[in-house]
Structure 1
Amino acid sequence: MKGHASSTEGLCCCEYENNQGEKSHILACCCDCEAFDQAADRCITCRQVPPETMERLFKTIEDRCRVPGILGQGAIKLRLDVIVPVITIPVCLFLATIGPVMTAVMLTMMPIFLLWFYRMWKRNTKKDRTLFFYSWGLMSVVTIFVVFESCVVGFREILLWEHLLLLTAMFLMLYNFVRTKLNTPYLKNLKRPRNFEKMNQSDRRIVNADDTFKVPMSLEEMTAVELPESDVKWLDSRPITDGKLVTWCQHCNLNKPPRSGHCNLCKVCVSVRDHHCVWIDTCIGADNHRSFIISMMLFVFCGYYGCHLSMTTLCTPKMYFDWFLFPNDCRFLYIDFQTSASFVGTCYTFLASTIMLFGLIFQFLLISQNLTSQEFHIASQRNMLRHGLFATKNVYNQGFIHNWFNFWLTGRKDTRTSVITL
């Protein structure tokens, strides 16, 4: 760079300093790009583009993807992993309104294209954490909401209480979504010295008269030792490395309590870690798992209920059992743009809700066993799954009713004071 001061001074709203420290203009985004010329030449001649060329091309595109700034610091740089879903989703849904064939093609090709782009972007930028899926999900919700409110509601066929019920459920979904984002249960540094090497083998297990092991599971005992893998016969979320159960996180400099886990994306340990949800870009754990499940449930409800309201509006409905409307005559779904946009939005919502439903059912299966996704993954690696769905040697499982009762009323705990007899 030519100097730190020059990056913010003397630049108009459309100017910026590129990666080489040279002043450039957003109108020159397609000019003089050697990496693009080489990639295009190889594509035309059906030759493979070298990885280093693709890497330089992605860096150039990210550097030149900007919009005019109004803060006096030149053009604002846009993140490629954010802007691509924002542009792709509305464009594909708009093209899908042309006809039934285009609807099938666009709803099939759009996720394929987005996943292909994500794979290419991640491989060439070498970044671990991304807002790609967060941008994809948020843009999908916004687009579908706008289509529903402007097109479906515009037919004036939906009753007021039906509309208010859907809006209330969406508000609650967003509220719980925000709570999930704000209440991520990151573990704080306990600042205790690592004293694993001082422990004797006799201190790491208790042998009963019948040669069975009684493994202490209190916080102080379990975070102060590294048990041999042969002694870890219960399901534990913490990794087993070099034949030992690792309870010390070198990245966070702390002893990990039971059920916790380190997130490689958040770069921090999480209490009772379930998984890192890329769709909301946050970790799910002890403090936000309930709000996460509520968000998923409300998403599925809003999706399917919105589809029902849309289809009974677009199609001639028929009454069943004197209270339930079901779409009957759907011959005019592409008669105009308003109708076709409503139908395309309904199809996209139905697909997204169905995918979310499968994730919700999987979460219900885990909660019924008082099991986290991380523990389920460890159980799969250690051959501790029965029928591929039910974990064995799960010391936290207290029965179906107690598991659900504890989840909704007390939250998932790390069971710091319980004792396991194996």
Structure 2
Amino acid sequence: MKWEKLKPPEPDDPMCCCECDIYQYGCCCEDLDEAFNRWLKDKPSKGGCQCPVLGAVIEHLEISMIPALLLLPVLLRLAALHYLLGIIVLTALPGLVLWYYYATHRRKRRTLFFLTLALYSLAYMYYLFITEILPRGDVSQLQVFAATAGMIFTIVSLIYTKRGPGFVTASLQKAHAVDQTSKKDSALRDGSTQPAELQAAKHTLAAKWSRCAVCRILRPPRAGHCRTCGSCVRRLDHHCIWINSCVGQANHRSFLLTLCVFVSTSLYGISLVLCSLCPRQYLMTALFYCPGVYSQSSTALCFTCAWYSSIITAGLLYLLLVQVLNISFNVTEREAQLALRNKTGQSRLWGLAVDTGEFSRGFFQNWVEFLTMTDASVSPRSSSTDLV
């Protein structure tokens, strides 16, 4: 067996036995088939479950298929009954979301749950804003137009982000081979007239192209393999669960724009709701002290939804801050994690950013490179059906 087959995968993502050709007759990922075999042979399951088939079905159940859209309004209305219930529900919701994120991330499985939750939360908050806040007469038509435009702009930028992160395709590999061939021909024609330093630089740039240990494709510098999507992505940043796709060279700028628009729209909508519910309170303190808000069910529900939106906005604001800092140091999230794991980077700004020192050329030049980088060609796998 060649060394290339035994070459370790991406260090930030362990290889499953299904992807290694050593295990040709057994795959640890076929949990459902294994459970049926144990059930037919009347053998106890590994985890001690009384019904292995049911356990495997639950393990592979897609939560986004469960009517979670109906569960969110019920929980929010339950939280609006009393402020103690609100504290319990709004504390449990992020915990459940983080638990499900850990469960899906550990199994490297794509899921529509987070994208569905984000879109439905945005639509439900806007519905309550139109039906509960707008009739109170405290919001002008211009403010309604601004909030509506922000929501539409968020969805449009999200759709543009979902076009694809820029998968490494065979056409890109062929273009690189043709480019290398043309460079060699020009070098042979030039002969000794070409400086030795320039030739060494070209050879160094060509050497940065590496072959993926999983999909066996030749990929450009800073590309990475995403096991959740099953492909290599140019300038891979991370796999974002909120868009159910990777963030790479082709959609990184639109992803950052989506975060900026969503956070701005959410903060603006929360301020409008709090100014309408608590007109006598300061905006910074209205979220913590708003007397009489639980006297009516409608105002209590809007106040609870303002808290729910604030929790989501705080999480996405942190993600936006990390993205801005990474771009300022010209490092992707994947490169930052690898640098921390290999102890080759330095933590900056209280651990919010990691400076690898490999690609950084200064704050201004890093942002110029990010804003002017060419979009990678969208992979044929990224079609209009990938909008979800």
SS in 2 for 1:357: helix
Picking from 96, 109, 126, the partner of 1:113 is: 96
Picking from 215, 220, 225, the partner of 2:206 is: 220
* Partners of 2:303 and 2:203 in 1: CA distance: 55
1:169-208 aligned at under 5 Å gives the runs 169-189=150-170, 190=173
Amino acid at match of 2:168: L
Aligned equivalent of 2:230:
267
- Aligned-pair distance for 1:171? 1.2
* Partners of 1:147 and 1:51 in 2: CA distance: 46
1:12-411 aligned at under 5 Å gives the runs 50=47, 52-53=49-50, 56-58=53-55, 79-83=62-66, 85-116=68-99, 128-189=109-170, 190=173, 219-223=205-209, 247-317=210-280, 327=286, 330-387=290-347, 388=351, 389-394=353-358, 396-410=359-373
Q: 1:259 to 1:122 in 2, by over 3 A?
A: closer
TM-score, structure 2 length as denominator?
Answer: 0.69
- Alignment deviations for residues 33-79 of structure 1 (CA, whole Å, 9 cap, x no partner): xx9xxxxxxxxxxxxx945447532555699xxxxxxxxxxxxxx94
SS in 1 for 2:133: helix
* Partners of 1:51 and 1:134 in 2: CA distance: 34
Contact 2:278 2:290 in 1 (8 A): yes
Contact 1:158 1:313 in 2 (8 A): yes
* Partners of 2:250 and 2:100 in 1: CA distance: 34
Contact 1:385 1:392 in 2 (8 A): yes
Structure number with the bigger relative contact order (C-alpha 8 A, sep ≥ 6) is 2
Root mean square deviation, CA, Å: 3.3
Contact 2:281 2:290 in 1 (8 A): no
SS in 2 for 1:334: helix
Aligned equivalent of 2:11:
none
Q: 1:152 to 1:254 in 2, by over 3 A?
A: same
Structure 1 portions without partners, runs of 5+: 1-18, 21-34, 36-48, 64-77, 194-213, 224-246, 414-422
Greater fraction of residues in helix:
2
- Aligned-pair distance for 1:290? 0.6
- Aligned-pair distance for 1:301? 0.7
Contact 2:139 2:276 in 1 (8 A): yes
SS in 1 for 2:239: strand
- Aligned-pair distance for 1:303? 1.3
Amino acid at match of 2:326: L
Amino acid at match of 2:241: V
Q: 1:325 to 1:170 in 2, by over 3 A?
A: same
Contact 1:249 1:255 in 2 (8 A): yes
